[in-house]
Structure 1
Amino acid sequence: MSYVVNGEALETGEEDFLLEANFSDDVPPLIAEAEKITLTDAHWQVINYLREKYKEDGQTPNFRNMVAELDEMHEGVDWKKKLYELFPNMPARQGCRVAGLPKPFGKGGY
């Protein structure tokens, strides 16, 4: 499968993850639609977080680290519960896919 964004075909690999990261804000709505997710501001908050972590570290965090870091950044939210509400099909993986990032290492990141 591939996604076409602004006339450009974005190649996907295993589990429909992009083979190369794409940081265009036009990508997440297209992938989210395929995942049957309607993006909200909370989704974009997680998408932007995942993209920043990928830019900084070259990979994305696993679920446990996502929860811990989001808790530090945005106190007062039960991020463990919230992430499953936003990305019900394994948040550390589905969130990365929707963010337009390649498949995480191992079981959802580092």
Structure 2
Amino acid sequence: MGYHINGLELETDDQGYLLEPVFEDEAVRVIALAENIELTDAHWEVVNYLRDQYREHGHTPSFRNMLKGMTDIRPEVDSKYLYDLFPIGPAKQGPKVAALPQPLGKGGY
């Protein structure tokens, strides 16, 4: 399986995560469509947070750290808010939609 983004086929693992991060917004649009997610500004806020965390730490945060980090950005964020955006699991589906590799362990650090 792979994603076709801007004329290139990008490789994925067996669960559909990109093997290498892609920071082009078109990648997010293509993967979100494949995940049946209609992107909103709220999705983009989480995507940008996850991409920033990946750039800074080399991986994405666990759900607990993701929740804490997002509440620092937007105080009204809670578990339900994140699960409404990424119903399969924010710490798993969020990085996939953000065009990042599969999270470490149980969803990152």
Give TM-score scaled by structure 2 length. 0.97
Give the letter aligned to residue 45 of structure 1. E
Pairs within 5 Å for 1:14-93: 14-75=14-75, 77-93=76-92
Structure 1 residue runs of 4 or more that deviate by more than 2 Å after TM superposition: none
Give the SS at the match of 2:15: helix
Give the SS at the match of 1:16: coil
Taking the aligned partners of 1:78 and 1:104, their CA distance within structure 2 comes to 21
In the other structure, the counterpart of 1:12 is 12
- TM superposition shift of 1:3: 0.3
Give the SS at the match of 1:78: coil
Taking the aligned partners of 1:62 and 1:14, their CA distance within structure 2 comes to 21
Q: What stretches of structure 1 of length at least 5 have no aligned partner?
A: none
Of 66-75 and 53-62, more deviation after overlay is shown by: 66-75
Give the letter aligned to residue 80 of structure 2. K
Amino-acid identity (%): 52
Give TM-score scaled by structure 1 length. 0.96
Taking the aligned partners of 2:21 and 2:94, their CA distance within structure 1 comes to 13
Give the SS at the match of 2:18: coil
- TM superposition shift of 1:14: 2.9
What count of residue pairs does the alignment treat as equivalent?
109
Contact 2:70 2:77 in 1 (8 A): no
Taking the aligned partners of 1:89 and 1:105, their CA distance within structure 2 comes to 17
In the other structure, the counterpart of 1:96 is 95
